[in-house]
Copies of this chain bind each other. A is one copy, B any other.
Amino acid sequence: MKEKLDRLKELLAEITDMQRALALLGWDQQVYMPRGGAEDRGNILSTLSAIGHDMATTEELGELLEALKPYAATLDPDADDACIILRSARDYDRNRKVPTKYVAEFAKVTTLGQSAWEEAKKKSDFALFLPHLEKTIELRREYSSFFTPYDHVYDPLLEDFEPGLKTKDVQEVFAKLRPEQIKLIKAIKEKPQVDDSFLKLTYDQKGQWDFGVEVVKAFGFDFNRGRQDVSVHPFTTSFGIDDVRITTHFLPERVTSAIFSTMHEGGHAMYEQGVSQSLRRTLLASGASMAVHESQSRMWENLIGRSKPLWKHFFPRLQEIFPAQLKNVSLDTFYRAVNKVEPSLIRTEADEATYNLHIMLRMELEIALVEGSLQVKDLPLAWNARMQEFFGLTPPNDRKGVLQDVHWSGGMLGYFPTYALGNLISAQVWEKMNAQLPDVDAQIEKGNFAEILSWLQENIYRHGAKFEPQDIVQRVTESKIRPEPYMNYLNHKYSEVYDL
């Protein structure tokens, strides 16, 4: 059995290596690739994706997993080896249902799609992106068909990001959440708006970069095992536990964008850097799911990053870097400003009270697209109609509307709900951590994040992808994913910010 397990780990290590190489190809594509490189990059990604898929679906791998499953059942279910075998067996079964030809085509279509989207976004011209998105939706529908029977055509897409979660489960949670969020937004709307005009002054990019780096370094992001670059759409990716990359971006007249992006991606990255070294070069050397991942990025960005104690510590430093803009701004005014609630067009810039509505809008649309009840060509109209319904706003152009996010261009349908689920999980974990660590606020105020990070590492990060999302949430918080802690958190916070 030992020999079989060793051989399994060898094969899994090679599959992991290939996934890391694909991640680098993707990172470079978004961060540094010149425009001319798109066509060849599509070919390279397509070829390597196909090879990776072949590696993940060999007969040998299947036989090893079959032989090892009974052995895994004899182990402590929390043991690395048990999780490696069972998680790999699950992945294997799913991968076997997808033809290699499909994988190659999907990689190529979405690589070209991403370039087309960039161009379309720059020119705010949906027509440039339309044929690519049509092809992508068609391919996603085909993907779901490999997993029939399913309860919902969206289930197999969701499963890729949230193992074990069904469309119905998410819809139920969102159905509970939505009226609560709308109630909160209404309550806030009746109060005088906070002043954030000073955030819209010009701040030089170097200062923003330096401050962001200083903050995530303090959080615990290890720059010897990672780095930050600039991309249109900030993201985190990992080429190994010891090489985790984050990106940020700069928005003119919105200094908070770079700062909170860096905190957000820093949260993702510390999760990746915190995975146990015993899981190195296995498929488990990553987060449990995108929602659990997002719970960490949103926790560092919002529950910590937009908290009063955080700014008690860091605001003087920010004032020092930007005296002209901030010297006459009080801590309290600044704190309210970074927590300003206002229905807005751009998801990534949305406040915590309205953010989840942006997600629900996207999830409804992408479900309609894969169901076929919405045609891709009608998507901009459908988007704008929902923006009006949800926020009372109409985007002035598609760049600030339907073209704002990268996800669909990369074929990542099923991804958006994980952001909102992540918000919910973040508050559940936060509640638990505060019950176990009595002085979290005081630690943050002192700029001391070591104990917080170490609690998260111990309870979440080190496990990597050993457990399914609902299982790790249950394990940490003694409950499945639920909306109440998040709404409690929001209601409590905004009572203070807006004197509700």
Taking beta carbons and an 8 Å cutoff, which residues of A are in contact with B?
13-14, 17-18, 20-21, 24-25, 28, 32-37, 39-41, 43-44, 46-48, 51, 222-227, 229, 239-243, 280-281
Contacts and interface: CB of A to CB of B under 8 A. Distances in A.
Contacts of A229: 32
- In order of increasing CB-CB distance, the 8 nearest A-B pairs are A40-B240, A37-B243, A36-B225, A36-B242, A17-B47, A17-B44, A14-B47, A36-B224
A47 B18 contact: yes
9 contacts: A17-B43, A20-B44, A24-B28, A34-B243, A36-B242, A40-B239, A40-B240, A43-B281, A51-B51
B37 A242 contact: yes
A34 B223 contact: yes
Contacts of A33: 239, 243
A242 B24 contact: no
Nearest to A229: B32
B35 A224 contact: yes
Contacts of A226: 34, 36
Nearest to A273: B36
Main SS at interface, chain A? helix
Contact of A34 (B20, B24, B227): B227
Contact of A240 (B18, B41, B46): B41
A229 B227 CA distance: 15
A36 B245 CA distance: 12
Contacts of A241: 40
B44 A239 contact: yes
A216 to B, nearest CB: 14
A10 to B, nearest CB: 10
A241 to B, nearest CB: 8
B37 A239 contact: yes
Nearest to A28: B24
A222 B33 CA distance: 13
A243 to B, nearest CB: 3
Contacts of A227: 32, 34
Contact of A21 (B35, B44, B242, B243): B44
Given A34-B243, A47-B18, A40 B225 contact: no
A20 B47 CA distance: 11
A222 B35 CA distance: 11
Contacts of A281: 40, 43
A494 B116 CA distance: 53
Contacts of A18: 47-48, 51
A135 to B, nearest CB: 21
Residue in A18, A33, A51, A243 whose Cβ sees the most chain B Cβ within 10 Å: A243
A24 B33 CA distance: 11
Nearest to A47: B17
A36 B20 CA distance: 15
A222 B227 CA distance: 28
A222 B13 CA distance: 39
A266 to B, nearest CB: 14
